[in-house]
Amino acid sequence: MAKRRKATLVASKPINRADLEDAFYGLLATLKNAPPKDRRQLADRLFGELGRSAGKWAWYGDPQTGKRRDWYCEDVLSGRLEIRKVWEDDRVLAFHHRDPTSPIHVVVIPKIHVSSVLDPMALNGDLLSSMVRAVQETARSLGLDQTGFFVRTNAAAPGVTPHMHWHVMGPGVLA
């Protein structure tokens, strides 16, 4: 059972590089000690867990502090990461969240860097208008206008990705 603990450990967050390496070598040892017939299945499961954790780790600019890097600018707006677009205009982009936490989970982001809703640029009328338009278009195109939905934005904490993003989530509303 002690062997399994390593693999479970890496699934919790925040994770740092040392934990990840530790988990990797623990995993290799686990595989080495497993009966040969079980190795394949065990490897699939454990490496899957490790991969998902490493993916989470890659989101953090500084794993020690848990401070997020700006993956919206670095991965999404740069075109490095493929996204499923819902709507866009010149100023904003709405796309399906890559790690959804509700059945429909879309994020709306400005195409220029705006750090959060506290950024003076968030007051720009054209940008604000496009953000709201993206919410409306998302709701109508995905049927959330019939089922209810809510819009959420986080700010001002180290774990928040430092690029303004509005989550459009549903079906249903927050109590």
Residues near Zn ion (CB under 5 A):
70, 73, 113, 163
CB 94 within 8 A of CB 106: yes
Please, what is the minimum distance in Å from the beta carbon of residue 121 to Zn ion? 11
Shortest Cβ distance from residue 20 to Zn ion (Å)? Answer: 26
Residue whose CB is less far from Zn ion, 6 or 163 = 163
Question: Please, what is the minimum distance in Å from the beta carbon of residue 163 to Zn ion?
Answer: 3
- Least distance from Zn ion to the Cβ atom of residue 73, Å: 3
Query: Do the Cβ atoms of 67 and 115 come closer than 8 Å?
Result: no
Q: How far is the CB of 92 from Zn ion (least distance, A)?
A: 13
Q: Select 89 or 119, whichever has its Cβ closest to Zn ion.
A: 119
Angle at 116 between CA 96 and CA 122, to 5 degrees: 100
Give dist(CA 45, CA 10) in Å, integer.
13
Q: Residue 105 or 113: which CB sits closer to Zn ion?
A: 113
In this structure, are strands 60-62 and 166-170 parallel, antiparallel, or unpaired? Answer: unpaired
Yes or no: say if 55 and 71 are a contact pair by the CB < 8 Å rule.
no
- For Zn ion, give the closer residue by CB, 70 or 75: 70
Q: How far is residue 12's CA from residue 19's CA, in Å, rounded to a whole number?
A: 10
- Please choose, from the candidates 135, 124, 121, the residue with its C-alpha nearest in 3D space to the C-alpha of residue 88: 135
14 or 162: CB nearest Zn ion: 162
